[in-house]
Chains A and B, each alone.
Chain A
Amino acid sequence: MSADFTAIDFIVNGEKRSVEVPPMKRLLDVLREDLRLTGAKEGCGEGECGSCSVRLNGELVNSCLVPVLHAQGAWIQTVEGLALDGELHPLQHAFLHCGGAQCGICTPGMLMAATHLLAKNPHPSMAEIREGLAGNLCRCTGFTRIFESVASAAAQGGEGAHAR
């Protein structure tokens, strides 16, 4: 059986986008293959590692577990939507300054989980930062520098989500 392709209209990083894809295509694959937004990474492909994290209608999701039909009409933010007019987001600056990124595979997911956390809770405790990032695995940094990056961005008032 072959599925009918379905027209999906959504807002990705503030722009209206439309694709025609199988409804069971994963949001991750639509972002990467159809929209060429390759920031979100496939790590485990089973919702365990968080490297494909994006924000969908204000919720943090693993885009590898979302059938694209569930993104119909949705507001989506990926790591490509963090920088504004070429200026890095405060969290991105903090990751650079604090050594929060090494190989970079987990970084887009870490940034989106951190963005989500700060959008919900602008002044998280270290325990809340740890919980907010608990679904994101990093095999380079040992996590400490990532937690420090988020704490540093929060201390500088780096609000999580741009209003767009």
Chain B
Amino acid sequence: MRGDAEAHQLIAPGSLSAVLELLASAPGEWTPIAGGTELMVAHAAGRLGATKLVSLWGIPDLRFIEAKPESIVIGAAATFRDMRADRIIAAELPLMAKAASWIGAIANQSRATLGGNLVNGSPAADSSPALLVYDAEVEMISVRGKRRLPYSEFHTGYKRNVLAPDELLFAVHLPRRFAGHRQYLRKVGTRRAMAISKVALAGTAMIEDGVVEEIRLAAASLAAFPARLYRTEETVRGRAVTKELVKEARAALLAEVAPIDDIRSTADYRRRVGANLLEEFMNELQIEGQAQ
């Protein structure tokens, strides 16, 4: 432990309204902490810059999973364990359940929250590709009220997002209309548990009469933040999945992504694997298309 516990304040106001009042009273001064699986690592290493922390742990208004007629709403402080244990998520949003099972291991999933994963904004965030291909919306809250945005507009750069200094991520809304879609999610990392991904790709697609009517693709670790692959989607949409189209889609993906070299992998490896994952998904669609 190189950090100094006495150098950091931590308070737990205990309610959402009290946290929002605090954030509004001194915008930017307080750093929210939920399960701590990110910030406590920085703390132990002596590189936690924030000296004033406010706890979001144990606030029921932020930790919930609610099934509405049109959407599943996941509170920002719901843990990945909560998501794995939820039957509706398992049945209707299998990619979310799968992504939740990838977060570290049991002891991380019991603390790490969906909101923390998104606000931390790692380019490799495990939950992001699934949220993107499910057309998720994020809901933010402050004393000024709530607002909603497509999740695809949440990240604005490497570890940057649209949250105002007095705002919290409140919940994520997932539409309940993807049950009939083909769904794909694969992460490539050093090993199955614990490892941060080198590349991850998610896809949802609707095939009708052998033609891709709808397709959504999203990747982690192929750009500064997790993002949809709109140009690759355009290449595929409205066409039958053939070997030729797979080739074109691979080329479109390679032109669209901008990965980097870092400690976990190289840009070149990430590009190749990203294209291979896309091909794997499209091959599944092709088999599906022929079967119909």
Q: Give the interface of A toward B (CB within 8 A).
A: 1-4, 21-26, 29, 42, 45-48, 50, 53, 59-62, 64-67, 69-70, 72, 113, 116-117, 131-132, 134-136
Q: CB distance B41 to A116 under 8 Å?
A: no
Q: Mark B3-19, 1 if CB is under 8 A from A, else 0.
A: 00111111110000000
Contact of B5 among A3, A42, A66, A72 (CB under 8 A): A3
In the complex, the chain B residue whose C-beta lies closest to that of A120 is B106
Give Cα A97 to B51, complex, Å: 48
Given contacts A47-B37, A66-B36, contact A134 B9 (CB under 8 A): no
Interface range on chain B: under 10, 10 to 19, 20 to 34, or 35 or more? 35 or more
Q: CB distance A24 to B10 under 8 Å?
A: yes
Give Cα A15 to B107, complex, Å: 23
Contact of A113 among B43, B104, B106, B194 (CB under 8 A): B106
Q: CB distance B55 to A70 under 8 Å?
A: yes
Give Cα A66 to B81, complex, Å: 16
Given contacts A24-B8, A65-B37, A134-B193, contact A60 B1 (CB under 8 A): no
Residues of A within 8 A of B105 (CB): 50, 131, 134-136
Give Cα A25 to B108, complex, Å: 19
Residues of A within 8 A of B33 (CB): 67
Residues of A within 8 A of B11 (CB): 23
B24 at the interface (CB under 8 A from A): no
Q: CB distance B107 to A1 under 8 Å?
A: no
Q: CB distance A70 to B1 under 8 Å?
A: no
Give Cα A147 to B128, complex, Å: 33
Q: CB distance A22 to B6 under 8 Å?
A: yes
Residues of B within 8 A of A70 (CB): 12, 36, 55, 57-58
Residues of A within 8 A of B5 (CB): 3, 21-26, 29
Q: CB distance B41 to A23 under 8 Å?
A: no
B44 at the interface (CB under 8 A from A): yes
Give Cα A61 to B79, complex, Å: 12
The 9 A-B pairs with the shortest beta carbon distances in the complex, nearest first, are A135-B105, A134-B193, A59-B110, A25-B5, A23-B10, A22-B5, A65-B40, A24-B8, A46-B41
Having A67-B40, A72-B12, one finds 18 other A-B pairs with CB under 8 Å, namely A3-B5, A3-B9, A24-B8, A24-B9, A24-B43, A26-B5, A26-B40, A29-B5, A46-B45, A47-B104, A47-B107, A47-B108, A59-B81, A61-B111, A62-B37, A65-B35, A69-B12, A135-B107
CB distance from B179 to the nearest CB of A (A): 26
Q: CB distance A24 to B41 under 8 Å?
A: no
Q: CB distance A47 to B41 under 8 Å?
A: yes
In the complex, the chain B residue whose C-beta lies closest to that of A136 is B105
B192 at the interface (CB under 8 A from A): yes
In the complex, the chain A residue whose C-beta lies closest to that of B191 is A134
Residues of B within 8 A of A47 (CB): 37, 40-41, 104, 107-108
Q: CB distance B111 to A66 under 8 Å?
A: yes
B53 at the interface (CB under 8 A from A): yes
Given contacts A1-B51, A60-B110, A62-B107, contact A26 B44 (CB under 8 A): yes
Given contacts A60-B107, A60-B110, contact A3 B7 (CB under 8 A): yes
Q: CB distance A2 to B106 under 8 Å?
A: no
Residues of A within 8 A of B40 (CB): 26, 47, 64-67
Q: Which residues of B, 81-135, contact A by the 8 Å Cβ criterion?
A: 81, 104-108, 110-111
Q: CB distance B36 to A53 under 8 Å?
A: no
Contact of B107 among A4, A42, A53 (CB under 8 A): A53
The contact sample of 12 A-B pairs, CB cut-off 8 A, is A3-B7, A29-B1, A45-B44, A46-B41, A46-B45, A61-B110, A65-B35, A65-B40, A65-B41, A67-B10, A134-B192, A135-B108
Residues of B within 8 A of A3 (CB): 5-10
In the complex, the chain A residue whose C-beta lies closest to that of B58 is A70
Residues of A within 8 A of B8 (CB): 3, 22, 24
